């Protein structure tokens, strides 16, 4: 059979440039590539980079679906189904809200594809496709299949050096997908992770786990095994890293350059409203612990939590600048279908926008508790504008010498002048741009 695998076009947020759409390939689709028997002909289409030819001769279409691209995925599926082509959908949104997705596709895959993808292909060949495929019971890390890194067009992406050591997160914060019913937390065998790193043939690695320290003992063992590889890497962790300073030391020793951390809010009441167990009184200690080890902090902040008011934005900005936070990823609180937050807001009648293309954390789709929707949206835009203003880029300038080049590259070339750099990047392969940034920042 000829199988077309599609990544629908993402909905950019106001601060995003085309660099965001070309950041890295979909590991979900690369995993499906690896799972597909060699007797089939596969085509990989990333709609962020190319238009989809709905009239091409294919026997089956697979679509990976995140929440905000769901409307686009439905349109794609409709066009192919009109032509009598079977369409199968999977991905995090399908897994977390299958009841809202099933009607739009010939079949959906809930949870990991490793056990069911081969069966889906066979059922398409036999014209016996089922509506739902799910086989999650007892699924473990040793069953995770390595992505087909060698089959991706590296010239199109800033980075293809992305590795997952786990799936899911042990925490269950109300607003996160990990609070959904079909989510799991598993860790891969360390030997499999090391094999993936070696396959990428680079020292520069991004660990894309939801929570790189979900199991601190596992992370410690992994980093000790990876130590001889002399990596330069970044990852996402929780504020709980402060409880594991020996592990933080090991991170610095093994080449950690930056950590993405969900601080979410500096307001205790706001954190409590979504059962986030961060301790605001320890934030300053945490930032100091990370900075003194030469590691940059990429803070995630969520605005619109139930204890947030109009003064939240200015207070947060002052706090971020005071503590010299290197980078900020900001979000408007978004109730993802399937999460505890969504169920609560729907039960209380607070959801005011059901257009899923707006569920990309850059739109107000609910009624805030202590500010208007306009105040929340305007404050969100103001935060990005002020945080990445020249004045505040200078005020946040890191004191650690090893951080300075990477700091300037991200703050100026990626955020401040991202659209200009995107235009320039259109003249040269994205991979070259990524290599130049890595060489300047980390000498790799």
**Which CATH number fits the domain that encloses residue 10?**
3.40.50.2300
Residue 141 covered by a domain: no
Position 298 scores a pLDDT of: 96
**Helix residue ranges, H only, 83-206:** 92-96, 117-125, 190-200
Query: Which residues touch 347 (CB under 8 Å, ≥6 apart)?
Result: none
The answer on pLDDT for 16 being more than 90 is no
Q: E strand or H helix at 187, and its extent?
A: strand 186-187
Query: Are residues 129 and 222 both part of a single domain?
Result: no
Position 400 scores a pLDDT of: 87
Rounded mean pLDDT, 314-334: 97
pLDDT in tens, 331-371: 999 999 999 999 999 999 999 999 999 999 999 999 999 99
Q: Indicate which CATH number applies to the domain containing 230.
A: 3.80.30.20
Residue 438 covered by a domain: yes
For the chain, how many structural domains are there in total?
2
Last residue of one domain, picked from the residues 134, 151, 171: 134
DSSP 260-296: EEEEE-S-HHHHHHTT----GGGHHHHHHHHHTTT-E
The answer on pLDDT for 444 being more than 90 is no
Query: Are residues 30 and 70 both part of a single domain?
Result: yes
Position 15 scores a pLDDT of: 86
Query: Are residues 211 and 318 both part of a single domain?
Result: yes
Position 203 scores a pLDDT of: 95
Where do we find the tokens 């505890």?
A: 340
DSSP 211-262: -TTSSHHHHHHHHHHHGGG--EEEEEE-GGGGG-HHHHHHHHHTTEEEEEEE
Contact by Cβ (8 Å): 53, 4: no
Q: Which residue has the higher pLDDT, 413 or 30?
A: 30
The helix/strand/coil state of 148 is coil
The answer on pLDDT for 179 being more than 90 is no
Query: Are residues 123 and 227 both part of a single domain?
Result: no
Rounded mean pLDDT, 211-229: 98
DSSP code of residue 351: B
Position 327 scores a pLDDT of: 95
Chain CA centroid to CA 65, Å: 13
Residue 143 covered by a domain: no
Rounded mean pLDDT, 192-212: 96
* CA dist., res. 189 & res. 88, Å (int): 29
pLDDT in tens, 234-253: 999 999 999 999 999 999 99
Residue 195 covered by a domain: yes
- Beta-ladder partners of 235: 259
Rounded mean pLDDT, 84-88: 98
Average pLDDT value over all residues in the chain: 94
The helix/strand/coil state of 362 is coil
pLDDT > 70: percent of the chain: 100
Query: Are residues 117 and 181 both part of a single domain?
Result: no
Residue 222 covered by a domain: yes
Query: Are residues 301 and 346 both part of a single domain?
Result: yes
Query: Are residues 127 and 196 both part of a single domain?
Result: no
Rounded mean pLDDT, 417-443: 80
Contact by Cβ (8 Å): 168, 184: yes
Q: What residue numbers bound the domain in which 108 lies?
A: 2-134
* CA dist., res. 444 & res. 433, Å (int): 13
Per-residue pLDDT band at 426 (split at 50, 70, 90):
confident
Last residue of one domain, picked from the residues 134, 153, 182: 134
Query: Are residues 336 and 259 both part of a single domain?
Result: yes
Query: Are residues 245 and 351 both part of a single domain?
Result: yes
Residue 366 covered by a domain: yes
Of the listed ranges 68-72, 142-146, 415-419, the least confidently predicted one is: 415-419
The answer on pLDDT for 220 being more than 80 is yes
Nearest to 299 by CA among 324, 328, 338: 328
pLDDT in tens, 43-52: 999 999 999 9
- Reported pTM: 0.93
Other residues' Cβ atoms within 10 Å of the Cβ of residue 41: 12
Nearest to 3 by CA among 38, 33, 43, 45: 43
Last residue of one domain, picked from the residues 134, 152, 177: 134
* CA dist., res. 427 & res. 431, Å (int): 12
Query: Are residues 198 and 115 both part of a single domain?
Result: no
* CA dist., res. 89 & res. 87, Å (int): 7
Query: Are residues 127 and 170 both part of a single domain?
Result: no
Rounded mean pLDDT, 4-16: 92
Residue 379 covered by a domain: yes
* CA dist., res. 120 & res. 348, Å (int): 39
Residue 140 covered by a domain: no
Query: Are residues 198 and 287 both part of a single domain?
Result: yes
Q: Pairing between strand 232-237 and 204-207?
A: parallel
Position 438 scores a pLDDT of: 86
């Amino acid at each position: 059979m000829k199988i077309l695998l599609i990544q629908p076009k993402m909905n950019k947020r106001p601060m995003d440039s085309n660099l965001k759409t070309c950041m890295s390939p979909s590991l979900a689709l690369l995993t499906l590539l690896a799972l597909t028997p060699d007797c089939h002909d596969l085509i990989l289409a990333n709609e962020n980079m190319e238009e989809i030819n709905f009239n091409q001769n294919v026997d089956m279409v697979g679509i990976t679906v995140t929440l905000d691209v769901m409307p686009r995925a439905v349109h794609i599926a409709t066009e192919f189904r009109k032509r009598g082509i079977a369409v199968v959908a999977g991905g995090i949104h399908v897994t977390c809200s299958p009841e809202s997705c099933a009607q739009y596709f010939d079949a959906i895959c809930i949870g990991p594809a490793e056990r069911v993808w081969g069966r889906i292909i066979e059922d398409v060949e036999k014209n016996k496709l089922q509506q739902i495929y799910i086989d999650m019971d007892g699924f473990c890390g040793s069953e995770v299949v390595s992505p087909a890194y060698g089959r991706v067009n590296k010239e199109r992406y800033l980075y293809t050096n992305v590795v997952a050591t786990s799936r899911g997160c042990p925490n269950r914060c109300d607003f996160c997908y990990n609070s959904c019913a079909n989510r799991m937390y598993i860790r891969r065998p360390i030997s499999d992770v090391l094999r993936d790193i070696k396959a990428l043939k680079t020292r520069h690695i991004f660990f894309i786990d939801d929570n790189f320290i979900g199991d601190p003992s596992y992370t410690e063992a992994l980093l000790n095994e990876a130590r001889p590889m002399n990596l330069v890497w970044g990852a996402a962790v929780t504020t709980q890293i402060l409880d594991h300073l020996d592990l933080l030391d090991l991170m610095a020793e093994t080449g950690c350059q930056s950590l993405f951390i969900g601080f979410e809010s500096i307001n205790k009441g706001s954190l409590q409203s979504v059962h986030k167990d961060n301790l605001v009184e320890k934030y300053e200690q945490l930032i100091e612990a990370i900075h003194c080890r030469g590691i940059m902090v990429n803070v995630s902040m969520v605005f619109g939590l139930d204890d947030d008011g109009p003064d939240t934005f200015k207070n947060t900005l002052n706090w971020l600048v005071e503590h010299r936070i290197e980078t900020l990823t900001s979000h408007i609180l978004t109730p993802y279908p399937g999460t505890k937050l969504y169920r609560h807001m729907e039960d209380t009648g607070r959801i005011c926008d059901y257009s899923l293309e707006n569920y990309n954390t850059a739109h107000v789709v609910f009624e805030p508790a202590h500010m208007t929707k306009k105040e929340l949206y305007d404050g969100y835009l103001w935060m990005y504008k002020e945080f990445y203003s020249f004045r505040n880029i200078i005020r946040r300038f890191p004191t650690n010498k090893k951080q300075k080049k990477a700091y300037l590259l991200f703050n100026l070339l990626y955020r401040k002048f991202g659209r200009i750099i995107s235009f320039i990047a259109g003249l040269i392969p994205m991979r070259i741009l990524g290599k130049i940034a890595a060489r300047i920042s980390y000498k790799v």
